[in-house]
């Protein structure tokens, strides 16, 4: 059998935590910062844990972790 390949787009966007949860960047931080409040911009920094339903889909793209 051939090896399972990781989806290239997924490995650039998602990381798995030690417990197997999926970590992702916040959406809405690419452009248009002038119309967002400073509080919104501040709260969109860093990463967040993905919801369980979406994480299940992403984990299929990352077979090797």
Q: How far is CA 9 from CA 1, 33, 62, in A?
A: 24, 25, 10
pLDDT tens per residue, range 38-62: 999 999 999 999 999 999 999 999 9
**How far apart are alpha carbons 12 and 31 in whole angstroms?**
19
Check if the beta carbon of residue 28 is closer than 8 Å to that of residue 36: yes
Examine residue 41 and state whether it is found in any structural domain, yes or no.
Answer: yes
pTM: 0.84
* Domains held by the chain: number: 1
**Residues of the domain holding 47:** 8-61
Check if the beta carbon of residue 13 is closer than 8 Å to that of residue 24: yes
pLDDT tens per residue, range 10-30: 999 999 999 999 999 999 999
**How far apart are alpha carbons 11 and 50 in whole angstroms?**
15
Kindly report the CATH number assigned to the domain that includes residue 56: 4.10.410.60
Examine residue 3 and state whether it is found in any structural domain, yes or no.
Answer: no
């Amino acid at each position: 059998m051939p090896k399972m390949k990781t989806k290239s787009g997924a490995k650039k966007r998602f990381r798995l935590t030690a417990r197997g949860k999926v970590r992702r960047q916040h959406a809405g931080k690419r452009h248009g910062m002038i119309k967002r409040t400073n509080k919104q911009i501040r709260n969109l920094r860093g990463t967040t844990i993905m919801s369980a339903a979406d994480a299940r889909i992403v984990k299929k793209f990352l077979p090797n972790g």
